[in-house]
Structure 1
Amino acid sequence: MEDGTTTNAAFNKGEGNILDESALFSIPKAPEGYKSGFIGIIGRPNVGKSTLMNYMVGQKIAITSPVAQTTRNRLRGIVTTPEAQMIFVDTPGIHKPHHQLGEVLVKNAQIAIESVDLVLFVVDGAVDSGGGDRYIVDILSRTKTPVMLGMNKIDLRSSDSQQIDESYTQLAEPYNWPIVKFSALTGEGVEALQQLLSDRLEPGPYYYPPDYVTDQPERFIMGELIREQILLLTREEVPHSVAVTIDMVEEEPTITRLLATIYVERDSQKGIVIGKGGTMLKAIGSAAREQIQKLIAGKVYLELFVKVQPKWRQSRLHLADLGYRVERE
């Protein structure tokens, strides 16, 4: 159980709105020649896709973690400029699945490739291309969706980066994919990346109100912020056996009260999440509460429970109950 302290910290580039379905009926008409479209962010796990989307929308809507395969749902980030509205679709990292959850995640990423207007294939530009990149190239080579290759993490490159550049040029050249370099962490090159993406979109309407940054409801983002802290604080001890549901949101004039459940697969994992004397659960709750307070710009009271749901990642029924389904094309 966590008592909160007030913080009204705003995000780096100003606060943006989360989904309010009523506002979707009052979307303004786009000016003549305006461009818009959906851009799928595709790549291996841990290449910085979520970090990139957070930077572009100007606030945190996607969780990040040093643990691979952090993103589980297709999350849309909305960037509206005077010239274009770009709806970025952050997808799970494409990898060889090892369980039912993995199969669902990879299938959803592949569906995203065919349902967007443009694909941004993000790679780790600080190291040579590898087998995982070539696996994704094979998938993308069969799509009719235009592709751009984005080399992230240039802030981590050594002075001798010619070999790295050549390894990715060899991937992109056969398909005439343009290449752009950037750092999602520092922002270097991101403005140029956005301009290139905008230039390649077709004329179109506003799909969302111009001040919106995501189409996901606050409950979803809250659950993800809790899961992020579990990944950060427990590291490899409790990898991807964790799911979070928001069971109750009560908004009062001076505080928002949240009740959430953390699901794990084994009793030993429950013990790790709770920690000795509840210390780990308290740390998770405190860190998550700070992030949620930034999201809603107000005081938060957060209460966490931990439950064991054996082998939930292997069960389609349990996956559906926890919000993981193969998405429609």
Structure 2
Amino acid sequence: MRAKKTSGTPVKVRKRRWTKDDTELTLLSVPTLIWYLIFSYLPMFGIIIAFKQYKLAPGGHGFIYNLFHSDWAGFSNFEYFFSSNSFTMLLRNTILYNIVFIIISATVAVGGALMLSNMINKKGSKIYQTMMFLPYFMSWVVISYFVYALLTPEKGLMNGLITALGGDPVMWYQEAKYWPFILVLLNTWKGMGYGMVMYLASITGIDPALYEAAVMDGATKTQQMRHITLPGIKPVFVMMLILDCGKIFNSDFGLFYQVTGQIPASLYETVSTFDTFIYKAMQSTAPIGQTAAASFFQAICSCGTILFANWVVSKIDNENRII
């Protein structure tokens, strides 16, 4: 024991000892720690590639040897990326798509969770919840085939309906103006089930006594939702919003690359994002240092946005911040 001096009498502070619970919790965390070390922290060594002019050294050496014996490029890889003709377009598409995704997905998820939680038939609510959650498990590759079956110019279902109604077929994969709406619709459809489950779990955790007291006071369903349900799911909503802000400089590669048919030239200006640009650059003859610089820029911006969002939340509502 040790004594801690205060303004009054000294207070004895008991030194904390390692307990059996600490050992058990540590052992439980070891697999997760190993996973993060291997797949999250160890690959961070590759950040050095963004500052190197990577070249293969003669003699058939391995990647690590070539990396250390390559010349330092400083920030020239970043300068090339920032000065490229595609940077402004990629930045615009990535940010704007993600802002729209966050707003619409959050609105649909919260609205769907509120509707399902207020259904009288709970069995029907479970069925609807399962049906809405199923698209989340589907791969974008599978979804891309369904989209192609709908939009293919020759025998697609959409063009079949349009021609049956007397209209002219639409060349969907050559008309860029339709794809922002298609991508937003598909992203919302695929992710709304996961979001609703998160909010439904929060609604289930609200004390039923609050609703009983509100009914006794004569509160309507709208008033119960406004004064009980929405404040009850507010912590989860803020947490999801902060995490989504951390992804604002990233995009769902499968959505933008697979669904659009690997981004044809006619859609390049409309659907290209940082992720698709990096993937195509890796397949081309572009130096690996330039693609690494673009990826590193994404990581830095994502870290900055999530910290900024958390800081804004701490100023508005300090109790619901993450960090």
> For this structure pair, what is the TM-score category when the shorter chain's length is used for normalisation?
under 0.3
TM-score when scaled to structure 1?
A: 0.21
Q: Which has the higher strand share?
A: 1
Q: Which of the pair has more CA radius of gyration?
A: 2
